[in-house]
């Protein structure tokens, strides 16, 4: 039985509640009891910034339930497992962990899971109910100065998201005083190279397959037209 055929949980809110509580539960488990000063505090699954059905119908509660409650939570659980054997990385924040392990072949598993935690949290915040369309104010000025107009930005972002072969991410980043569009493969993230990320779109199939099947361009178009959180992008300008 593949993921698409898996029976839907009858109470997804319960699933999300349990998922969000998972990290807290870790702190109360024998996992913590066995912790010494040299082993890492568990990394936590941050709560979704909205309800699991808040982005419907563009992204269904079913998609968010699996994506957040299974995939995102899975990366957190994996990372905490790997870190039990890497006490030298115990004191690092998630960002430091990503940047320190990037490009280190011996730490690929830690990098992949740490980066995926960070990327997914960033992705949830890159969307909001009734978002999307052209930005206003400072972000519109930056979009116009960087790409010509909003239409050109949309075209470029869609092309990057469509053109990412296999799993990965499309990004809006700050490059000097202008905006730039990037794409990364698998768990890779511009943050690993200390770039300032403003927005991201997850183009792994698990992000859209339940709602859009193989039609990634339709998903990315929905993301751009109805979900994009420009306020989050502006906040990230710092």
> Which lies closer to Fe ion via its Cβ, residue 219 or residue 230?
219
Cβ 196 vs Cβ 173: under 8 Å: yes
Smallest distance from the beta carbon of 206 to Fe ion, in angstroms?
A: 5
State the Cα–Cα distance between residues 22 and 101, nearest whole angstrom: 25
- Supply the angle between the helices 108-125 and 94-101 in degrees, to the nearest 10: 130
> Which lies closer to Fe ion via its Cβ, residue 82 or residue 122?
122
Smallest distance from the beta carbon of 203 to Fe ion, in angstroms?
A: 9
Smallest distance from the beta carbon of 202 to Fe ion, in angstroms?
A: 4
Smallest distance from the beta carbon of 72 to Fe ion, in angstroms?
A: 7
CB neighbour list of residue 40: distance below 8 Å, 6 or more residues apart: 80, 83, 84, 86, 87, 89, 90, 91, 92
Residue number of the CB atom closest to Fe ion: 202
Point out which residues bind Fe ion (CB under 5 A): 202, 204, 207
- Supply the angle between the helices 150-163 and 137-147 in degrees, to the nearest 10: 70
> Which lies closer to Fe ion via its Cβ, residue 28 or residue 165?
165
Smallest distance from the beta carbon of 214 to Fe ion, in angstroms?
A: 16
Smallest distance from the beta carbon of 119 to Fe ion, in angstroms?
A: 7
> Which lies closer to Fe ion via its Cβ, residue 63 or residue 221?
63
Q: What are phi and psi of 7, to 5 degrees?
A: -55, 140
State the Cα–Cα distance between residues 207 and 64, nearest whole angstrom: 8
How many other CB atoms sit within 10 Å of the CB of residue 60? Answer: 17
Q: Which residues of 156-191 are buried (b: 16+ CB within 10 A; e: fewer)?
A: bbbebbeebeeebbbbbbbeeeebbbbbbebbbbbb
> Which lies closer to Fe ion via its Cβ, residue 142 or residue 211?
211
> Which lies closer to Fe ion via its Cβ, residue 39 or residue 186?
186
């Amino acid at each position: 039985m593949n993921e698409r055929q898996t029976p839907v949980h009858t109470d997804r809110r319960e699933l999300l509640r349990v998922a969000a509580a998972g990290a807290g539960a870790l702190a109360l488990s024998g996992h913590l009891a066995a912790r010494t000063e040299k082993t890492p505090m568990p990394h936590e699954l941050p709560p979704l910034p909205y309800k699991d059905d808040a982005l419907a119908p563009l992204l269904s509660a079913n998609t968010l339930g699996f994506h957040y409650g299974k995939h995102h939570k899975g990366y957190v659980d994996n990372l905490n497992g790997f870190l039990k054997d890497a006490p030298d990385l115990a004191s690092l924040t998630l960002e430091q962990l990503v940047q320190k392990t990037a490009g280190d072949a011996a730490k690929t598993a830690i990098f992949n899971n740490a980066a995926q935690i960070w990327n997914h949290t960033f992705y949830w915040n890159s969307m909001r109910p009734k978002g999307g369309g052209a930005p206003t104010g400072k972000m519109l000025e930056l979009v116009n100065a960087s790409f010509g107009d909003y239409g050109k930005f949309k075209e470029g972002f869609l092309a990057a998201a469509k053109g990412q072969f296999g799993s990965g991410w499309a990004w809006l980043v700050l490059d000097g005083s202008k905006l730039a569009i990037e794409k990364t493969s698998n768990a890779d993230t511009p943050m690993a190279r200390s770039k300032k990320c403003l927005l991201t779109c997850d183009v792994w199939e698990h992000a859209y397959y339940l709602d859009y099947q193989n039609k990634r361009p339709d998903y990315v178009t929905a993301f751009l037209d109805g979900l994009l959180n420009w306020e989050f992008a502006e906040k990230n300008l710092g």
